[in-house]
Structure 1
Amino acid sequence: MNDSVLHDLAALDGALYAAVAATDTPALDAGLRRLSHAANHSKINLSVAAALALVPGRCRRAGLLGAAAVGVASFSANLLGKQLVRRPRPDREAAQVHVDRHVPMPTSASFPSGHTASAFALATVVGAVLPVAAAPLGLLACAVGYSRVHTGVHYPGDVVAGALLGSSCGMAVLAVGRKVGAGRVG
């Protein structure tokens, strides 16, 4: 990508972040702050995966593959992506993100969003194995991603990258799961 395209994308990312920060949403602030906090350390994702893994059949498979996808996405986002890109976190004070939205500002790099990557990895895998869960988990993943921008700890581009990374990790885990499942002797 040439420098002018990267500059324009960064400008768009900053403008979207500022627009979210400037939009008054007092009815949403507390709920999105709680959701963002609840998604720390993949607590929501791993809880869903564990609950599914307790149910025999396709639910168990969805839960086990979902947990694996969350692990792969978390590793990819937090130990690879953030270390390679090292994008600074947004300055939410300069953007005047309302204090009622604040969650603790992480000390890690901003790009990509690990919360979003993990949520999309789970949604991708579980949705493929249990199609009835695709829409609710997809909506949850989108809400987790948006909550990270709403609370001021990520730029929208970090969340988009996290969603793409998480979905890709989920697809990779599904592909490996199919190969491992096909190699089993009945």
Structure 2
Amino acid sequence: MYAAVAATPTPTLDTWLRELSTAANHSKISFSIAALLAVRPGAARRAAAAGVAAVAVASVSANLLGKQLARRPRPDRDAAQVPFVRHVPMPVSASFPSGHTASAFAFATAVGTCLPWTSVPLGLLAATVGYSRVHTGVHYPGDVAAGALLGMASAAAVTGLARPLLHPPG
């Protein structure tokens, strides 16, 4: 699957997906959306807090636990012939799971739990971030799938524990 993505010519998408992948570094996209939500009162502010908390849980789980336990090497972009125009800097951390994907799905799931109307656009954004990590040659599809599951589980943990705060009576 990785080689199929790498070998598929997509010149129209290459630059855009590389830029999206880079913009997702350090959850900058999620934190920007959270900042926009946080300036609104009520459910939007609670959604922003839940999203940021879920990103924190997912990031710790992926980067400090998952990558340390799995230690999967990164893909060989040269062997897979990933075009140079797609390249982002190759992270030095292990490949499994995808931290970018875990954080994006954690944010999308947590915010979507609080604000259901955001579920589809944020879910599509998270999926695109995950795909961009394979497209740029820094992750295998399995890394992204595991990251997505980890992100959703992180959001479920945060929203489950914080349910009384996220859904106050009245």
- In the superposition, the TM-score normalised over structure 1's length comes to 0.88
Task: Map 1:122-141 to 2 at 5 A.
Answer: 122-141=107-126
> In structure 2, what is the equivalent of residue 84 of structure 1?
69
Matched, 1:43 2:28: yes
> In structure 2, what is the equivalent of residue 52 of structure 1?
37
Equivalent AA in structure 2 for residue 156 of structure 1: P
Q: Which runs of 4+ in 1 moved over 4 A?
A: 179-182
Structure number with bigger Rg: 1
Task: Map 1:87-106 to 2 at 5 A.
Answer: 87-106=72-91
1: CA distance, partners of 2:36 / 2:165 = 23
Verify the 8 A CA contact 1:46 1:70 in the aligned structure 2. Answer: no
2: CA distance, partners of 1:35 / 1:185 = 39
Verify the 8 A CA contact 2:46 2:166 in the aligned structure 1. Answer: no
> In structure 2, what is the equivalent of residue 144 of structure 1?
129
Equivalent AA in structure 1 for residue 159 of structure 2: L
Identity of aligned residues (%): 69
> In structure 2, what is the equivalent of residue 4 of structure 1?
none
> In structure 1, what is the equivalent of residue 12 of structure 2?
27
2: CA distance, partners of 1:35 / 1:17 = 19
1: CA distance, partners of 2:164 / 2:137 = 41
2: CA distance, partners of 1:62 / 1:93 = 41
Q: What SS class does the counterpart of residue 41 from structure 2 fall into?
A: coil
Residue 181 of structure 1, CA deviation: 5.8
Residue 185 of structure 1, CA deviation: 10
Structure 2 unmatched runs, 5+: none
Residue 178 of structure 1, CA deviation: 1.0
1: CA distance, partners of 2:164 / 2:143 = 32
- In the superposition, the TM-score normalised over structure 2's length comes to 0.96
Verify the 8 A CA contact 2:47 2:166 in the aligned structure 1. Answer: no
Verify the 8 A CA contact 2:106 2:153 in the aligned structure 1. Answer: yes
Equivalent AA in structure 1 for residue 108 of structure 2: A
1: CA distance, partners of 2:116 / 2:165 = 21
Verify the 8 A CA contact 1:86 1:109 in the aligned structure 2. Answer: yes
Structure 1 unmatched runs, 5+: 1-15
> In structure 2, what is the equivalent of residue 10 of structure 1?
none
Verify the 8 A CA contact 1:77 1:112 in the aligned structure 2. Answer: yes
Matched, 1:178 2:159: no
Verify the 8 A CA contact 1:70 1:119 in the aligned structure 2. Answer: yes
Equivalent AA in structure 2 for residue 174 of structure 1: T
> In structure 1, what is the equivalent of residue 145 of structure 2?
160
Number of residue pairs matched? 170
